[in-house]
Amino acid sequence: MKNLNDFKEEIYKCSRCGLCQTVCPVYKVTLNECSVSRTKFNMLNGIVKGDLALNKKIMEYMDLCLGCDACKNFCPSDINVCEIFTAVKMQYNRNKKRLISPYFVFKTLLFAAKTGLFLYRLFGTDKLTQRILRGAKGLLCKRVLLFNSLAQQKIPGKCKKRTSIVKTKKAVYFKGCFNTYINADSEHAVKKIFENTDTELIEKPFECCGISLLSSGFEKEFLQIAKKNLSLIPKDCDYILTDCASCSFVLKSYEKYLPSDITEKVVSVLDLLKNRKISVIGENIKITAHKPCHEDSDFISLIKNIDGVDYIEAENFDKCCGFSGKFALNHQNISREISKRKAIDFLNTGAEFILTNCPACKLGINQGLIELGNQQPEVMNVIEFIAKYCIVE
Ligand code: SF4
Ligand code: SF4
């Protein structure tokens, strides 16, 4: 595993031009220079030279980052900023003793959310809450509304099977912890659509892709689950299918940390649909979309090509939604403000639906809408929209 010293040359490459400041969503909200990669590199430079110690305070600044890669994509010196921040966090955590595994805590929280949502749905609390708290201003009410947005299940789980279709391809479906524990809409949609294609979906008891462990720098736990996931992937599968931009990104990044030959096989479900004719059932629908930071499929073109979709591009459609898992918990006010600014851009389009390809981004966009006192337009994963409102030929 790499240490900060391994990135010495990369850090020296920073010319302090400050272009990263102009694109950093955290800086735009906080105006705090310490959130910008240039300033973080000044600190890291000090550590490499031995002038500064890698301590808790420096880690707080490293944590002031969404991992959105906006600065990396804009940096004229082509520095892989987030990879360096991750290496620093791993180095800091490496010798820390922890009584409880962070992955155990993460899974316990997911399980608690799953149980809570089950009870919530069972008693129909979601609809009642939505009605009572609509437009509420208090932070607690907004949090309840965000939780409530998870409780809405929209895609029917089963569809009629066309038995005549011969399965010629095998795809192992990496459904991710969000679908597994919190909201199965995407999973239902993927199964509904792929049941009638020539691709057989194989399921395995995968762990989380590990994005939260990776971004927090929990190296040992990340490697454990990455190894387990890799061992479960059948050698003869044609694809490793995901419906989440973050899962795709992390699965592809396994090769940076472990021997892995899966990168080429990791594809978005949307990639496999790009040559199919997709049409909206009924009248035209106005759609806008949010491109997740880690999305590398051209899903916006797929949306534009759906018959019956009137696509309206939102300003900043490809900028971070502000959620980014742990960041939304540790830096609630910054996260909410970034999401709110995004939501204003979406509302300006007048679209009926906001589509994206990441469950965490769905939460981020809903967080922004709730900040503005709105619960519309509806936010959906693209695959959910296709399963519910379209015909795939
Ligand atoms: S854009 Fe790149 S080179 Fe310029 S200050 Fe930021 S990190 Fe350094
Ligand atoms: S990755 Fe995003 S949030 Fe982090 S420093 Fe770069 S632009 Fe700012």
| Domain 169-272, CATH class in plain words | alpha beta
Substitution candidate for ligand 2 out of 22, 69, 78, 84 with most atoms within 8 A of CB: 69
Indicate whether residue 81 lines ligand 2 (CB < 6 A).
yes
- The CA 36 to ligand 2 mean position distance, Å, reads 7
8 Å CB contact between 244 and 178:
yes
pLDDT in tens, the chain (393 residues): 788 889 989 999 999 999 999 999 999 999 999 999 999 999 999 999 999 988 999 999 999 999 999 999 889 999 999 999 999 999 999 878 888 888 888 888 888 888 887 887 777 777 777 777 776 777 777 777 777 777 766 655 444 555 567 778 899 999 988 888 887 888 888 988 888 788 889 999 999 999 989 989 999 899 999 999 999 999 899 999 999 999 999 999 999 999 888 999 999 999 888 888 899 998 999 999 999 998 988 889 999 999 999 999 999 999 999 998 788 889 999 999 999 999 999 999 999 999 999 988 999 999 999 999 887 899 999 999 999 899 888
Q: What is the pTM of this model?
A: 0.88
Domain ranges of the chain: 4-94, 102-151, 169-272, 275-392
CATH architecture of 275-392: 3-Layer(aba) Sandwich (3.40)
The angle, 0 to 180 degrees and rounded to 10, between the axes of the packed helices 359-371 and 332-349 is: 80
Query: Which pLDDT score, from 0 to 100, does residue 157 have?
Result: 47
Indicate whether residue 16 lines ligand 1 (CB < 6 A).
yes
* Cβ neighbours for 84, distance < 8 A, ≥ 6 positions apart: 4, 7, 10, 11, 44
- Assess whether the region 169-272 and the region 275-392 belong to the same CATH fold: yes
Per the document, the length of the chain is: 393
Query: Which pLDDT score, from 0 to 100, does residue 42 have?
Result: 93
How do strand 378-381 and strand 278-280 relate by DSSP bridges? unpaired
What residue's CA is closest to ligand 2, atom 8?
24
CA within 13 Å, CB half, 126: 17
DSSP-derived secondary structure letter, 96: -
Ligand found nearest the CA of 82: 2
Between CA 267 and CA 277 the distance in angstroms is 19
Could you identify the residue written with the tokens 């472990």?
Answer: 258
8 Å CB contact between 204 and 235:
no
* Closest ligand 2 atom to Cα of 24: 7
User: Would you say the C-alpha torsion 285, 358, 289, 322 has a positive or negative sign?
Assistant: positive
- The CA 71 to ligand 1 mean position distance, Å, reads 8
